[in-house]
Structure 1
Amino acid sequence: MQLKDAKILVIDDDIDVLTALRLLLKPFVAEITVEKKPGNLSSLLSGNKYDVIILDMNFNGLVNTGNEGIFWLNKIKETAPETDVILITAYGDIDLAIRSLKEGASDFIVKPWQNQKVIESLREMLQNRKKQGSKSVKPSVAGTKIIGESEELQQVFSKVKKVAPTDANILILGENGTGKDLIAKAIHENSNRQTMPFVKVDVGALTSSLFESELFGYKKGAFTDAREDRKGRFEAAQGGTLFLDEIGNISLRQQARLLTVLQNRHITPLGSNEVIPIDIRLICATNLDISELSDESKFRKDLIYRINTVDLMMPPLRDRGTDVTQLAKHFLDVYSEKYSKGPFKLDPAFLKKLKSHAFPGNVRELQFVIERTVIMADAMLLTEKDLSFSALENNHGSAEIDDMRLETVEKNTILKVIDKNKGNISKSAKELGITRAALYRRLEKYDL
């Protein structure tokens, strides 16, 4: 459907908002109706059919629940389930707006809005509705480097497009290697903060002594090696996005310190009494299940609520169907150019073997598999013989149990511990009694 053919209803008890939207939309749509009293919704819907209803979330009147928008949204969905509903909300009601998406809203507008973005959102929404009538819609995220067309991935993209323009805190869940960092970057690049810094921190790798100095900064002389002032990551991300990776692996003490900063919205560098206000959008990621984060002996619930306004689940590669082939061809192009080999062709047996693999290491594993294939290939046609997977995925440990060489025992032990911890490197290193860096060196040493 074209925007110029659309009938739109705007409901808001603020006459200024009604006037602004009427003047904005009138040149672009077939019909624009404004209404100050939400109580008149039933009569309006009984006599008219609207393509889009733009609805305020808070009214001074009939339903004194603090979330009137949700109430009237449900009323609309009961009477006119095919009508798209866009909620108007203020910055302080972002959490409520996110809830409205789960209740059936198509989108929401944050005040003060940008006129051009409102027009573009409406146009895209109506065009997608037309596509849905004939074939499935495959939304995309501008700027993202994530490749794939599977329904599971498109659902993630759809959520990203809705939450990116807000300042809602995001928790990205998913196994190692699924692309959580790329989704975090995509959220930033599609947000209103896209021109400001995007700062990533692997907090799971920070020791207790480094945690505060890395995140909050320090003054010269704060500790032995503090030879000059240094900004922390929070301050470096000022005005932009701070991405805290492996958030599930920080200690309870670190969690308490982080929670205090998020509540107060300011930091105090080590060795200083100066309070620095912070303005950042927070995105966190973890490979832990949400059930593990719910264990209060390991993770504070009040911190979960702070970082998890919206959660995004990155699907494992084994659930993404034909994305495996698409990604394989992409990496094939990348490494063919890097190593000046090719162009390669893929034998059907090669693709069959590739798609039958479970890929416990997800996209990252596929990337390394294709790189290894390109390096070792002798011909331009890649067959199933050219495709090999590492010992970690082939589970060779049991086959080598009679080999008691020290290196083999160490290799098999590492495989078993990593498998036990479902690929979680931090947990595996802790159980093995070594650092993450030491474990990574051993993985490289044994080509795992």
Structure 2
Amino acid sequence: MKKTGKILVVDDDRDVLVAARLLLKKHFDTVHIEETPSSIPTRVRNENYDVILLDMNFARGESSGEEGFYWLNKILEIDPSAVVVLVTAYGDVQMAVKAIKEGAMDFVQKPWQNEKLLATLSAAMNLRKSKVEVDALRSRQRRLHEDLDQPFQEFIGESQAIKEIFRTIHKVAQTDANVLILGENGTGKELVARELHRQSRRAQEVFITVDMGAITETLFESELFGHVKGAFTDAREDRAGRFEIASGGTLFLDEIGNLPLPLQAKLLTVLQRRQVTRVGSNTPRPIDVRLICATNKPIHQMVAENQFRQDLLYRINTVEIHLPPLRERPEDIALLVEHFLANYCKKYQKPQMQVSQAALKKLQKYHWPGNVRELQHAIERAVIMSESHILQPHDFFFSGATQKHDGLVFERYNLEDVEKIVIQKVLTKHRGNISQAARELGLTRTSLYRRLEKYGL
């Protein structure tokens, strides 16, 4: 069997060091010995030891163990994950308890029994391996969270409405109050949720997102609360739900307004009891989550129409944050354009671009039904397609007509353009059926065909 492990033995008795090295080098890959305790910091900084075997008394006649505790603390200051086994000829139960409390893995008395020492060091090696794995997983998790979070650090603005939202986030983030974020699609609800998490006391823990509109009723309990093996046909193993996974961190329930009434009752029960029971199990499991919800639906109106439970709304909206649509804060468009331009020029390795005043005015006048997300995509497309360093109005293409309330909003009001757009929309509505489209437009089939030919449709 291949030998593994790097051991450091520290003792002021040269004979003990030699004996330890003779024994341990048969079982471990590397064994270093050190007679001078003042050299410990240098060795720990320069080497990655799996286990440190540390004598507790170095001064002649000393038996209090204070020197050992001093150097133990020094080692743990330099490497908090270090595994230290203390050794002394003057041990007692009280000293052993103190050693463990101070951070030592174990306590061995001299003269040691070889089998017991080897068993202790083997256990210490396993502990070190576990600590290294945990540290690596935490580091990987932190990096993964940073990478996942990177695209969501773009909630910017200088309008009064956005400044007020920033102030609210700053006030609320440090609490565990449940937050409900309201706003149209594309206004940045998830950006606000992640900013709340970043500024909270749970920032180093997980941020778990659940799209409530994408979960079917049959999978709702399994996805959110988890299941045990055999709970249903495809349950081949125990699986934690989103609430358990998010415990200690933040759970973001997006599009909560899409949740059917029967499932709202189940969610309310979990929030009230702060515990979940996996599907197929009778054992409740405690959860500790900071809950943030979001919806683009008129949730207060839904309560009035009995489409959303009032008691659930009260549970999730301790604080409400309303995100204004982009059309209501045109003063933020220039800042957003500058931000997205810099991002996409870097992404597509293009020289830094600028937006002409005429193009900026066009962007500021447009009503942005898709809000910031639509602006972001418009900038990305312009950066990709433009061959100039200065983006002009023609670099930004918007659909000719978009729905707004119950009518049409046009980018241009030239009568021929309007007629063409209306014909296109009616044809789309009737899936190309000429007879039905002509009837709705109040035209004969022949007249409609003439217009189709005229506009190249």
Which TM-score applies when normalising by structure 2? 0.56
Contact preservation (8 Å) 2:257, 2:299: no
**Closer, same or farther in 2 for the Cα pair 1:255/1:153, shift >3 Å?**
same
Contact preservation (8 Å) 1:144, 1:183: no
Structure 1 residues 404-419: aligned runs within 5 Å: 409-410=430-431
**Closer, same or farther in 2 for the Cα pair 1:322/1:400, shift >3 Å?**
closer
- RMSD value, Cα: 2.4
Which residue in the other structure is 1:248 paired with?
257
Which residue in the other structure is 2:367 paired with?
358
Residue number among 312, 321, 345 corresponding to 2:330 in the alignment: 321
Contact preservation (8 Å) 2:401, 2:421: no
Distance across 1 between alignment mates of 2:229 and 2:172? 39
Shift of 1:315: 1.3
Residue number among 366, 384, 388 corresponding to 1:379 in the alignment: 388
Deviation sequence 1:311-348 (CA, Å, 0-9, x none): 00011111223211111111111111222223212211
For the pair 1:156 / 2:165, whether they are aligned, the reply is yes
- Which residue type is aligned with residue 265 of structure 1? R
The higher radius of gyration belongs to 2
Count residues with an aligned counterpart.
270
**Closer, same or farther in 2 for the Cα pair 1:268/1:181, shift >3 Å?**
same
Which structure has more relative contact order (CA 8 Å, sep 6+)? It is 1
Shift of 1:356: 0.6
Which residue in the other structure is 1:270 paired with?
279
Contact preservation (8 Å) 2:337, 2:379: yes
Which residue in the other structure is 1:399 paired with?
420
Structure 1 residues 30-109: aligned runs within 5 Å: none
Contact preservation (8 Å) 1:188, 1:241: yes
Distance across 1 between alignment mates of 2:432 and 2:316? 37
Which residue in the other structure is 1:334 paired with?
343
Distance across 2 between alignment mates of 1:408 and 1:281? 45
- Which residue type is aligned with residue 399 of structure 1? K
Distance across 2 between alignment mates of 1:405 and 1:323? 35
SS at match of 2:155: coil
Deviation sequence 1:53-100 (CA, Å, 0-9, x none): xxxxxxxxxxxxxxxxxxxxxxxxxxxxxxxxxxxxxxxxxxxxxxxx
**Closer, same or farther in 2 for the Cα pair 1:222/1:306, shift >3 Å?**
same
Residue number among 223, 238, 247 corresponding to 1:238 in the alignment: 247
Distance across 2 between alignment mates of 1:237 and 1:202? 14
| Unaligned 5+ runs, structure 1 | 1-142, 413-448
- Which residue type is aligned with residue 420 of structure 2? A
Contact preservation (8 Å) 1:208, 1:254: yes
397-406 or 146-155, which deviates more? 397-406
Shift of 1:205: 1.4
Distance across 2 between alignment mates of 1:362 and 1:411? 30
Contact preservation (8 Å) 1:199, 1:242: yes
For the pair 1:184 / 2:205, whether they are aligned, the reply is no
Distance across 2 between alignment mates of 1:403 and 1:360? 20
Distance across 1 between alignment mates of 2:372 and 2:426? 33
**Closer, same or farther in 2 for the Cα pair 1:145/1:345, shift >3 Å?**
closer
Which residue in the other structure is 1:346 paired with?
355
Distance across 2 between alignment mates of 1:176 and 1:247? 13
**Closer, same or farther in 2 for the Cα pair 1:197/1:219, shift >3 Å?**
same
Which residue in the other structure is 2:65 paired with?
none
Contact preservation (8 Å) 1:403, 1:409: no
Distance across 2 between alignment mates of 1:373 and 1:411? 31
Contact preservation (8 Å) 1:350, 1:382: yes
| Unaligned 5+ runs, structure 2 | 1-151, 411-417, 434-457
Which residue in the other structure is 1:222 paired with?
231
Which TM-score applies when normalising by structure 1? 0.57
Distance across 2 between alignment mates of 1:256 and 1:391? 44
Distance across 1 between alignment mates of 2:350 and 2:429? 34
Residue number among 292, 296, 302 corresponding to 1:293 in the alignment: 302
